[in-house]
């Protein structure tokens, strides 16, 4: 494997963190333990992004569909989010990382929302690195909301339908101003997009690894980045 500092790094990595449940099940543990171990993986990968000079990281932490899980599991995930943000706020400042969130943030429990908004506000001025958490996020919902916002402007007479370009539409999405991901990583072997960043992933390289998310560490990440580098090199050749 080439050393990390000679590899072609993506500017923006998006991750579908899958396999927490299976990781726990295979150890005879409750699913909540899988999510807890998954939060530890988040910490590792965030540090790896800083180390490798990857400025944008988007994590699919909770989908609109995840609300259908048992209440106890949803509560565990929301508590883990709070604990993670409280524990990692210092690191975000140390590494000059801005926190952003995309999704139906208004649906999150008040406690999680308050912590989230506090950390977003306290890191808002950093420009070096950005961590984007997709929370209660669904890509179709995002696209519909963007269409509604533009339709309202057309109805108000401030926007001509012909003026709606790809750029204008992208600017109406929750990811406005964030470059599209260059690389999508999905752990645990599933070959699905699961309603994640459908518009933004149009040109992304997709790497699926069999590794379960709680086992995904710096070394696994390097393997994925190496695969990304190989693809980019092929793309540049004949």
What are the catalytic residues? 18, 66
Nearer to ligand FPP, 20 or 150 (CB): 20
Strands, DSSP E only, in 115-224? 129-137, 183-187, 205-209
Closest CA relative to residue 98, chosen from 48, 59, 132: 132
Q: Does 116 bind ligand FPP (CB under 6 A)?
A: no
User: Quick one: which of 84, 137, 216, 221 contacts ligand FPP (CB under 6 A)?
Assistant: 84
Give the whole-angstrom CA distance, residue 205 versus residue 118.
33
Nearer to ligand FPP, 33 or 182 (CB): 33
Q: How far is the CB of 65 from ligand FPP (least distance, A)?
A: 9
Q: Does 195 bind ligand FPP (CB under 6 A)?
A: no
Q: How far is the CB of 62 from ligand FPP (least distance, A)?
A: 6
In Å, what is the CA distance from 72 to each residue of 61, 67, 68, 123, 198? 16, 11, 11, 31, 29
Applying CB under 6 A, the site for ligand FPP has a residue count of 20
User: Quick one: which of 14, 81, 99, 184 contacts ligand FPP (CB under 6 A)?
Assistant: 81
Nearer to ligand FPP, 18 or 182 (CB): 18
In Å, what is the CA distance from 122 to each residue of 17, 45, 56, 117? 26, 22, 18, 9
Q: Which residues contact 197 (CB under 8 A, 6 or more apart)?
A: 14, 58, 134, 139, 175, 181, 184
User: Quick one: which of 10, 12, 13, 21 contacts ligand FPP (CB under 6 A)?
Assistant: 21
Q: In what order do the strands lie in the sheet with 205-209?
A: 97-102, 129-137, 56-63, 12-16, 183-187, 205-209
Nearer to ligand FPP, 17 or 207 (CB): 17
* Helices 31-52 and 71-94, packing angle to 10 deg: 20
Q: Does 22 bind ligand FPP (CB under 6 A)?
A: yes
Q: Does 205 bind ligand FPP (CB under 6 A)?
A: no
Q: Which stretch binds ligand FPP (CB under 6 A): 38-46, 92-100, 107-115, 162-170?
A: 38-46
Q: Does 119 bind ligand FPP (CB under 6 A)?
A: no
- The CA R_g of the chain, rounded to the nearest whole Å, is 18
Residues near ligand FPP (CB under 6 A) are 17-22, 35, 38-39, 42, 59, 61, 66, 77, 80-81, 84, 133, 188, 213
């Amino acid at each position: 494997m080439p050393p990390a500092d000679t590899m072609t790094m993506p500017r923006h990595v998006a991750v579908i963190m899958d396999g927490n449940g299976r990781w726990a099940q295979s150890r005879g543990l409750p699913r909540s333990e899988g999510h807890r171990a998954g939060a530890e993986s988040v910490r590792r990968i965030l540090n790896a992004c800083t180390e490798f000079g990857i400025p944008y990281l988007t994590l699919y932490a909770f989908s609109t569909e995840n609300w259908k899980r048992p209440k106890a599991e949803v509560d565990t995930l929301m508590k883990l989010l709070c604990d993670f943000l409280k524990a990692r706020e210092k690191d975000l400042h140390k590494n000059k990382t801005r926190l952003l969130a995309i999704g139906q943030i208004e649906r999150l429990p008040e406690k999680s929302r308050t912590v989230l908004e506090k950390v977003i506000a306290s890191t808002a001025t950093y420009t070096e690195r950005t961590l984007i958490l997709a929370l209660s996020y669904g890509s179709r919902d995002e696209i519909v909301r963007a269409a509604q916002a533009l339709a309202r402007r057309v109805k108000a007479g401030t926007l001509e339908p012909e003026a709606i370009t790809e750029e204008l539409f992208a600017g109406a999405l929750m990811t406005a101003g964030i470059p599209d991901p260059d690389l999508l990583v999905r752990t645990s072997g599933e070959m699905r997009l699961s309603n994640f960043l459908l518009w933004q992933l149009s040109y992304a390289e997709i790497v699926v690894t069999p590794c379960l998310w709680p086992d995904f560490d710096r070394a696994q990440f390097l393997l994925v980045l190496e695969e990304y580098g190989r693809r980019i090199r092929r793309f540049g050749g004949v």
